[in-house]
Amino acid sequence: MSISVEHLNFSYCDRPVLEDVSFRAVCGEVVCIIGPNGVGKSTLFRCILGIINNYSGIAKINEIEIKTLKPKQLARLIAYIPQSHTPAFHYSVLDMTLMGTTAQMSAFATPRKQEIIVAEEALKILDIYHLRDRDFTKMSGGERQLVLIARALAQQAKVLIMDEPTANLDYGNQILVLEQVKHLTSKGYTIIQSTHQPEQALYYADYVIALKDGRVYAAGKPHDVMDEELIFNLYGVRVKIQSLFDDKIRMCIPEDVLLHR
């Protein structure tokens, strides 16, 4: 399952938000979109998800224009995972996951054994089946985020759009979520995620898209495009990028941290 965006442009009123954006995400990849606040990351997601369709250019899934698909059709192809949140009602983990199966059900239908099996399989993929009866509102942020991902898997879509999946999570929960996200690529999922943390792109992404002023400022494999000058031009912060383990891993260190050591 692939997503391709070709020369996409979108404006709010007369203010350009996205200009000539093009990229491709393919099966088994994590594509990471980075850039400061207000550069159009969320707007780009809304275009891919079919929420915004008055853009110029083309957004396609498996060579089918997204604009031509009905919401129910699109929900069977693309799933959205928001930032972790706590709902007002005390749903169980299994109930939260079952909500994803509605994309495959007719209107007013109730979950059957078949949908319960799908939801349980989604929990097993993420290794959280043992939490199936837990109260979603009483879990850690990382566990809640994994349940939201499980809900998306239960939707049975093969493209996952993740809006800053580790926002507001502590370090341990960030790693927990990111490792499971990377694991999903081995099962044939296409993942497009946004992040404000360049290190995540260096550690986990297969492809990086850097947005600046609504345009693709740089794109390519993390080790090819993510250098000190890119980070400065995006965020205005001077960093040193250090190589570890024969250049298998790279990490960003702010220069100010090094100066005060």
Supply the pLDDT for residue 247: 79
CATH code where residue 61 lies: 3.40.50.300
**Distance separating alpha carbons of residues 60 and 114, to the nearest angstrom:** 30
Domain boundary pick from 156, 178, 210: 156
Please provide the average confidence, as pLDDT, over all residues in the chain: 91
Q: Indicate whether 33 and 144 sit together in one domain.
A: no
pLDDT tier, 250 (very low <50, low <70, confident <90, very high otherwise): confident
Domain with 4, as residue range(s), is 1-77+157-236
Domain boundary pick from 156, 173, 193: 156
Q: Indicate whether 174 and 73 sit together in one domain.
A: yes
Tell me what the mean pLDDT of segment 110-126 comes to.
91
Domain boundary pick from 156, 177, 211: 156
Supply the pLDDT for residue 252: 87
Q: Write down the pTM of the prediction.
A: 0.90
Supply the pLDDT for residue 149: 94
Cβ–Cβ under 8 Å, residues 234 and 35: yes
Q: Indicate whether 110 and 69 sit together in one domain.
A: no
Q: Indicate whether 43 and 67 sit together in one domain.
A: yes
Q: Indicate whether 145 and 168 sit together in one domain.
A: no
Lowest mean pLDDT among 43-52, 165-174, 179-188: 165-174
**Distance separating alpha carbons of residues 124 and 126, to the nearest angstrom:** 5
Supply the pLDDT for residue 54: 94
Between strands 30-34 and 190-195, the pairing is parallel
**Distance separating alpha carbons of residues 117 and 51, to the nearest angstrom:** 30
For 107, the enclosing helix (H) or strand (E) is none
Supply the pLDDT for residue 106: 67
Residue from 57, 70, 49 nearest 23 by CA: 57
**How many structural domains compose the chain?**
2
On the question of pLDDT at 108 being above 70, the answer is no
